[in-house]
Amino acid sequence: MMDVGTLIESGGVALMDQGRGGRNQFFGVITRPRSYLNVLYLLLGLPLGTLYFTVVVTGFSLGIGLMVLALIGIPILIGLWYVVHAFMRLERAMAVDMVSVDVPPIDPLPDWPGGLWRHFKHSMGHVPTWKGIAYLLLRFPVGIATFTVAVTLVSTSLAMTFAPVYMWTSDDLTWGSWSFDPFWWSFLLVPVGIVLVFVSLHVMNALATVCARWTRRSIGGHESSEQPAPTIHQLAS
């Protein structure tokens, strides 16, 4: 029968292993390539969101405007649907390859038979495409937010970590009759900046995961290709 001393010793070893694992998980974030892919993923939110918003809004404006004046607006809107699907596939690839979030393949646009008008009518009723358009439009404000968070965390943590580098050439600060050299005081910011680097990477990893999961819920296709995505006409019937 195991005595009390052995139980306490084994429990202490388990706690030490758990604490060591937690430290490795916290400090190991800086050595993982995935952390920097997540930072890049957050930074790309702004330029890609701007591109999506511009293309979608311009495509709708041209398509609807020219459809009223001439039938040329119909092929423009049909083409916009294929561009939207290309953007959706890009977003899925980024979520899978950069953030390692499993996103089901995007439901393709069905090959509807009939002429141009029939194809246009069915395209306008394709529910996953409308969900993708809503996602792409929201990607713009979300991209602004993720870009701002990433830039703020990276710049603040690095500025504090390397504060003595740029404080070395700074002039003395004067406040009334009291003046001091900020160079020596800047060394107090170094340990704070180092800790902030690790915290910032964890925060950005979590934020990238949340954004990628939002991508999965918004544009992820059906798990089974045997069940095609519904159209608005099917949902209404």
Model pLDDT for residues 198-234, shown as the tens digit of each residue:
999 999 999 999 999 999 999 987 654 444 444 444 4
Residue 127 lies in a domain: yes
Q: Is the pTM of this model over 0.85?
A: no
pLDDT exceeds 90 at position 176: no
Q: What is the pLDDT of residue 236?
A: 42
pLDDT at position 17: 45
Q: At what angle do helices 189-219 and 73-99 cross, to 10 degrees?
A: 130
**Is 48's pLDDT higher than 70?**
yes
pLDDT, residue 186, reads 77
**pLDDT for 25 beyond 90:** no
Any idea how long the chain is?
Answer: 237
- Could you tell me the two tokens for 93? 């690839």
In a domain, residue 15? The reply is no
Residue 57: what pLDDT?
Answer: 96
Cβ(34)–Cβ(62) under 8 Å? no
- 119 vs 53, higher pLDDT: 53
Among 143, 135, 140, smallest CA distance to 89 is for: 135
Mapping DSSP to helix (H, G, I), strand (E, B) and coil, where does residue 173 land? Answer: strand
| Average pLDDT taken over every residue of the chain | 81
Total of domains in the chain: 1
Q: Chain-centre distance of CA 189, in angstroms?
A: 30
**pLDDT score, position 181:** 66
CA 23 to chain centre: 26
The reported pLDDT for the residue numbered 197 is 95
| Distance (Å) of CA 100 to CA 31, 111, 203, 210 | 17, 31, 16, 12
**Domain membership flag for residue 201:** no
pLDDT given for residue 142 in this prediction:
97
Residue 72: which domain range?
A: 29-145+214-236
pLDDT of residue 226: 42
Q: Is residue 10 part of a domain?
A: no
More confident residue, 35 or 23: 35
Asked if residue 158 belongs to a domain, the reply is no
